[in-house]
Structure 1
Amino acid sequence: MDNRYFDVVDATWPPYAITHAGPWLIREGRGGGKRVSAASATGPVTQADIPQALDAMHAIGQGQLFMLRPDDTALDQMLETQGYEVIDPVHVYSGDPVVIGAGEIPRVTTFESETPLAIMQEIWAEGGIGPDRLAVMARAQGPKTYLLGRTNDRAAGVAYVAMHDGVAMLHALEVLEKFRGNGLGRHLMRAAGRWAAAQGARELTLLVTRRNVPANALYSSLGMQVVGDYHYRIKDSA
């Protein structure tokens, strides 16, 4: 897997702060979820280096959470021996924005906004995406857009897309539960592809947990390919 995708993640879904402690990159999430709260290694580490990461995470009030990338096999094994459990294995998908954006989007089905409208915030809130994650979106500095999707004459879906170094990444795609299965997620993906193509993006990418079977099926059906994987390891602080 090309590690540049992790740079895109940190730029389009940015932590509150990033600091370095020895061989560790420490993300301060401020409630924004695992992506912005996990520590990761910046190079080879040993067992003796792990307490430095733990101290840095403790200092900012965060739990013991590590992001393990494909190059982190040795660290992954060390953490396993110390009782850290795997959580949320993730697929990284990539596709051609033009291909993803192809196909019909019915009239008045998707809309772009420069800011998250109140109705968007309500839909995200129903899906568990609250103010802390909205703050993550607001921190992104590159081109970005907020997408609203409508079906059955009402607002029912949302997504957020941002750009970094020629790569667009979609986050926080959410369709209200009672409106799932009618194609709105596909229309939002097509809208994201069209926005990304208009920005000159060479790729549209996204992250999804492996266990989210419907989402994985949707992205594959749009011609997207898995280009990498990662997972987290966590230990109860107790």
Structure 2
Amino acid sequence: MTPELPRLLEAVDATWPAARSLRAGPWRLREGAGGGKRVSCTTAEGDWTPDGLQAAEQAQALLGQDPLFMIREGDEALDAALARRSYEVIDPVTLWLSPLAPLVTEPIPRITAFAVSEPLAVMREIWEEAGIGAARQRIMERPKGPRTTILGRTADRAAGTAFCAVDGEIAMVHALEIVAPCRGRGLGKWMMRQAAVWAETQGAHWMSVLCLTDNAAAMGLYRSLGFSRAGRYHYRRRSET
């Protein structure tokens, strides 16, 4: 059965975990430890009231974080309530999903993509150059399930890196980055296929990936591999933040 959006979002939390996640009334709070919006946002997990929004804001402040909410499909009332409180929309994200089987049919060219259990120094450098610093790299140490990194090579050099982790039947790819001079050569396709080959050995049946909706190049890559749109979400933050 094809995973639905709530299940995919569970896999996102499991494969790219916050430093700490806790329930406060109807809210799920995430402590990001500097790891970015995905691990620092608050989501509505129960019946909430407009008066309860202030409590959610205060709880986030106690974690040392500016108020930030993730708005998923079905959160339209929360979206409207936050808009009335001068929260702005940022970073709309599309979730993509594909069965693993079509991704493992093509042989991967030699010395093009490898699954590496722990990232090499050159892979960390690629992430650093792309703005994925130490705090975000530490997230990759937190998943409890199987995890690996993917090294991509082209033109006789290390040129790409990615992180992949499995939650049950779903493999999620995060932090796919290719150095600027080596983009447009098809390396991303082979790295995604290598991630699928590895994920299949871990018992996964599906692969999902997140992409900023305005990233046309990445959206084109996932579409060319046969991924389908599985859902969307965005964030809201105070416009003065």
Residue type of the alignment partner of 1:156: A
Q: How does 1:190-205 map to 2 (within 5 A)?
A: 190-205=193-208
Q: For residues 230 and 59 of structure 1, what CA distance do their matches in structure 2 show?
A: 25
Q: For residues 191 and 81 of structure 1, what CA distance do their matches in structure 2 show?
A: 45
1:218 pairs with 2:206: no
Q: For residues 240 and 28 of structure 2, what CA distance do their matches in structure 1 show?
A: 20
Give CA deviations for 1:116-164 in whole Å, capped at 9, x if unaligned: 1111101111111111011101111100110100000000100100011
Q: For residues 101 and 53 of structure 2, what CA distance do their matches in structure 1 show?
A: 44
Tell me which residue corresponds to 1:132.
135
CA contact (8 A) 1:88 1:232 kept: yes
Deviates more, 1:102-111 or 1:120-129: 102-111
Residue type of the alignment partner of 1:12: T
Q: For residues 93 and 85 of structure 1, what CA distance do their matches in structure 2 show?
A: 24
Among residues 232, 235, 238, which one is paired with 1:232 in the alignment? 235
Identity %: 46
Tell me which residue corresponds to 1:156.
159
TM-superposed deviation, 1:106: 1.4
Tell me which residue corresponds to 1:183.
186
Tell me which residue corresponds to 2:28.
25
Q: For residues 91 and 103 of structure 2, what CA distance do their matches in structure 1 show?
A: 26
TM-superposed deviation, 1:237: 5.4
TM-superposed deviation, 1:109: 0.8
SS in 1 for 2:13: helix
Tell me which residue corresponds to 1:113.
116
CA contact (8 A) 2:88 2:239 kept: no
1:63 pairs with 2:69: no
1:77 pairs with 2:85: no
CA contact (8 A) 2:113 2:194 kept: yes
Among residues 45, 49, 54, which one is paired with 1:51 in the alignment? 54
TM-superposed deviation, 1:2: 2.7
CA contact (8 A) 2:115 2:195 kept: no
Q: For residues 105 and 57 of structure 2, what CA distance do their matches in structure 1 show?
A: 46
TM-superposed deviation, 1:236: 4.3
Tell me which residue corresponds to 1:5.
8
TM-superposed deviation, 1:101: 2.7
What is the TM-score when the length of structure 2 is the normalising length?
A: 0.96
SS in 1 for 2:128: helix
TM-superposed deviation, 1:102: 2.6
CA contact (8 A) 2:151 2:158 kept: yes
Q: CA RMSD in A?
A: 1.1
Question: Structure 2: any 5+ residue segments left out of the alignment?
Answer: none
SS in 1 for 2:5: coil
Tell me which residue corresponds to 2:169.
166
Give CA deviations for 1:19-53 in whole Å, capped at 9, x if unaligned: 11111000000111111000000022221110111
Q: For residues 136 and 153 of structure 1, what CA distance do their matches in structure 2 show?
A: 30
Give CA deviations for 1:178-202 in whole Å, capped at 9, x if unaligned: 1100111111011111111222211
Q: For residues 128 and 206 of structure 1, what CA distance do their matches in structure 2 show?
A: 19
Q: For residues 221 and 5 of structure 2, what CA distance do their matches in structure 1 show?
A: 23
Question: Structure 1: any 5+ residue segments left out of the alignment?
Answer: none
Q: For residues 104 and 182 of structure 1, what CA distance do their matches in structure 2 show?
A: 17
TM-superposed deviation, 1:113: 1.2
Residue type of the alignment partner of 2:231: G
Q: For residues 68 and 5 of structure 2, what CA distance do their matches in structure 1 show?
A: 22
